[in-house]
Structure 1
Amino acid sequence: MIDRPRPIVGPEYLVAGRYRLQSKLGGGGMGAVWLAHDRLLDRDVAIKQVLSTAGLPEAEASRIREQIMHEGRVAAKLSHDHAIAVYDVVLETGEPWLVMEHLPSRSVARALGMVETLPVIEVAQIGAQVADALAAAHSVGIVHRDIKPGNILVADRGPGVGMAKLSDFGISRGAGDLSDEPDGVITGTPAYLPPEVARGARPTEASDVFSLGATLYTAIEGQPPFGLDEDSDVLVERAAMAQIIPPTRTGVLTNALLHMLEPAPQRRPTMAEARDEILTAAFGPGTSPYILGVPVRTEDGTIPPWAARNSASGLRSPHSAPLPRPQPRQQPGRPAATPQQQRALGQRAQGNAPSNAPLAIAVGLLIGLIIVIAILVAVM
């Protein structure tokens, strides 16, 4: 068999006779990601090029091709407002390419590079939205396996500015799939690994819950729950021992995040439960219609400066409104105030004492009588 030279991939290269490459967006878990134009549907897309299999034994090359084709089939099962859509999987010169929604955006990781930490109220929105997407993924048997700040994108321009979406199902697996990895191989990013995965167990839906909790923790605290270390082995060891640094800045989300970060997977909430706990803690019960499916925003309804380009920061999104806030809870054992008591409390708060109207009237009449007597005396 004669090896034919592989084409040079670059700007203007046409993939599968349809997708014209424009510029490289960055690297992904499996290879380079390009901005391309779909000539058939006249829209921009992101297209992921698998690392070349040139020079690999055919069995290994075939395994890699099957892996990326599997990735496309798995990810295409998911359609959600807060997940990057997968449109197509194509073969070009024997190599698979994954065609995805293009979202002009910056990642939460890049935002943290700009501002170091994000406000709790904004992280709560991101967390609830991504948890909602992952709950949908789990319902069709998809486990993401690599949730981290770099894989959460927030649109930074256009009509969807401020919209958060989970990306890169590059190492996803159907929950029922047989693992094609050797026993003990750790898959994922060390700083966000659940303890059971750090110890070599296979990732599950509960593992995604932990990794999302670790990601939200990082966005608020400015460092991952296991701290920072250039040696990934040190982080894996800390993860395996569940050596979580107690949070100090997480505020109303503290209990929800610590529940997601439970060392034992069976003690963690499901992803749907985690979403609801985040929503209730930050915004109150029944607030999902105001948070899910809409852009991330500040308390007063504007797009956060870190989430938008300079021309859009501070602008109110067409879908935005001031955020709902939890109502104060009634203290146990104390009955609610009656309307009359509430009015009395309002008078006291304004400095209004109970009225002494009868005394004031009597004093006024006495003064008037004195004036009349004085006038009569003067006339006489």
Structure 2
Amino acid sequence: MGEIFAGRYELIDPIGRGGAGAVWRAWDHRRRRYVAAKVLLQSDAHTLLRFVREQALRIDHPHVLAPASWAADDDKVLFTMDLVAGGSLAHVIGDYGALPPRFVCTLLDQLLSGLAAVHAEGVVHRDIKPANILMEATGTGRPHLRLSDFGIAMRKGEPRLTETAYVVGTPGYLAPEQLLGSEPDFTADLFAVGLVGLYLLQGAKPDSQALVEQFFTHGTPDAPEGVPAPLWDVLAALLQPDPRSRFQTATGARRALAEAVELLPPPGPDGDPVEVFDQLGPVPPDFTPRSLQEAAYETPPTAPSSAPSAPAQPSGAPTPVTAPLGVFGPSETGSFHLPPPLAAAAPTPRPQQPQQTTPTAPHPYRQPTPPDAPAVPRTTALAPPPAKVTAGILLAAVLCFAVGIWALTQV
């Protein structure tokens, strides 16, 4: 059985690891479905602040994979996202190498669509690369990507968590102005989109530094081998070294991409379709969520042997109750039957209470109090606070502590 986190998320198996946390496949006992859970591994002030920023991001878009919920348990925190099974664009390139231009255009259009939604919230992603672009396992159908990993994303105008001279991002996908330490901007994300497009068309990571030098020295170079000229015009406008010469918005780049697709030659009849495989596979064979191992209801205690038997149901068999399990698909359901109601045991009149003329049957789930038992005064126990309240208090305390340490480091 997996570890249950915060009484809700049952961790199953690790499916990824980053610099600040590990990503697990988990079972959400409340929503009764599988999710991806990112568990924070470090606890320094900067990491905690980045975690708080990332889990606070809420963007509802079909091509954005943003956090959906969070939880805290003792000294650990996590947030959850949809479980995406098709791996990343790096997996697709590893399987096929260079991809067909029209397939690449579909991917770039979806990426720009999701990025437009991110920028509309004032957020700069700052780490767009193939490994952070996840794929749904669609087989040979239309591909569906999700922009993920907002660990170093920030809103424009927010204070930076690193010194100005410190460059944050992945080498090889940084815009020239990022290397110079300028403030993060939307156009830096668009530069990375251009590099991703070139990577998909060529099947290999482009040399961004050599490419920038070509732009500076000779202006816009000719289209590289394997890149159609109409599509290269769009990529070249994304890869301009001067951010003022690039597309200023993801929506503008998307419009230009739509026009370029109209100029591409039709796909050949012999082209093999690109298949996006399921990279996660099934859950471990020995795993079953604990909530599904338990009975859907607790069997009531058996009535005393002296109780009369329950009357037969007049309508025949008891009414079946169907409980949807929803583990591996909506078609899986379980059926059980509710037992007939228990008959109350015949009461025994108490001799010390002759004034009671009409005996009352005891509650079927409560044991009767012996006649000679002394009266026990009832006490009221304070219920423990709900898990959400405890988790919220803990995360608030951690955040205050992290902000305090960060503030001291700035003095």
Query: Using a 3 Å threshold, how does the CA distance of structure 1 residues 88 and 248 change in structure 2: closer, same or farther?
Result: same
Secondary structure, in 3 states, of the residue corresponding to 2:27? strand
CA distance in structure 2 between the aligned counterparts of 1:201 and 1:26, rounded to whole angstroms = 31
State the partner residue of 2:45: 62
Unaligned runs of 5+ in 1: 1-10, 54-60, 228-234, 285-297, 311-380
* Structure 2 contact 201–227 (Cα < 8 Å) conserved: yes
**With structure 2 as the length reference, what TM-score do the two structures score?**
0.60
1:260 equivalent among 238, 244, 247:
238
Give the Å deviation of 1:277. Answer: 1.0
Is 1:115 the counterpart of 2:102? The answer is no
Separation in structure 2 between the aligned mates of residue 156 and residue 303 of structure 1, nearest angstrom: 17
Aligned to 1:356: none
Q: What are the within-5 Å matches in structure 2 for residues 174-213 of structure 1?
A: 174-213=155-194
Asked if structure 1 preserves the Cα contact closer than 8 Å seen for 2:6 and 2:73, the reply is yes
Change (3 A) 1:63 1:85: closer
Q: State the SS of the aligned residue for 1:213.
A: helix
* RMSD of aligned residue pairs (Cα, Å): 2.9
Residue pair 2:141, 2:275 contacting (<8 A) in 1 also? no
In structure 2, how many angstroms separate the alpha carbons of the residues matched to 1:157 and 1:127? 17
1:153 aligns with 2:122: no
Q: Is the 8 A contact 2:139 2:275 kept in 1?
A: no
Indicate whether 1:124 and 2:105 are aligned.
Answer: yes
CA distance in 2, matches of 1:254, 1:194: 18
Query: Quick check: 1:104–1:157 contact (8 Å CA) kept in 2?
Result: no
Q: CA deviation at 1:240?
A: 8.4
1:250 paired with 2:219, answer no
Larger RCO (alpha carbons 8 Å, 6+ apart): 2
Q: CA deviation at 1:192?
A: 1.1
Structure 2 residue aligned with 1:42? 32
SS of 1:32's partner is strand
Structure 1 residue 95, shift from structure 2 partner: 2.9
Within the candidate set 282, 287, 302, 2:261 is matched to 282
Q: Distance in 2 between matches of 1:121 and 1:140?
A: 29
Write the mapping of 1:95-110 to structure 2, written as runs, cut at 5 A.
95-110=76-91
Give the SS at the match of 1:190. coil
Alignment pair present for 1:168 and 2:149: yes
Structure 1 Cα separation of the partners of residues 54 and 61 of structure 2: 17
Task: Give the match for residue 305 of structure 1.
Answer: 274
Deviation digits for residues 137-182 of structure 1 (CA, Å, limit 9, x no counterpart)? 1011111110011111221258987311111111111122111111
Counterpart of 2:117, as a letter, is: A
Taking a change above 3 Å as real, the CA distance of residues 180 and 242 of structure 1, as seen in their structure-2 partners, is farther
Please report how far the alpha carbon of residue 208 of structure 1 lies from its aligned counterpart in structure 2 after TM superposition.
0.4
Structure 1 residue 309: Cα displacement? 5.5
Amino acid at match of 1:72: Q
Instruction: Give 5+ residue unaligned stretches, structure 2.
Output: 280-411
Name the CA distance, whole Å, in 2 between partners of 1:24 and 1:305.
27
Larger % of helix: which? 1
Q: 1:308 to 1:20 in 2, by over 3 A?
A: same
Paired residue secondary structure (1:45): strand
Equivalence for 1:33? 23
Q: Note the C-alpha offset of 1:198.
A: 1.7
Matched letter for residue 178 of structure 1: P
Q: Secondary structure at the match of 1:118?
A: coil
Q: Distance in 2 between matches of 1:263 and 1:93?
A: 47
Letter paired with 2:185: T
Report the count of equivalent residues.
270
Q: 1:140 to 1:105 in 2, by over 3 A?
A: same
CA, structure 1 residues 65+159, in 2 after alignment: closer, same or farther (shift >3 Å)?
farther
Q: Paired residue for 1:81?
A: 62
Q: CA deviation at 1:305?
A: 3.0
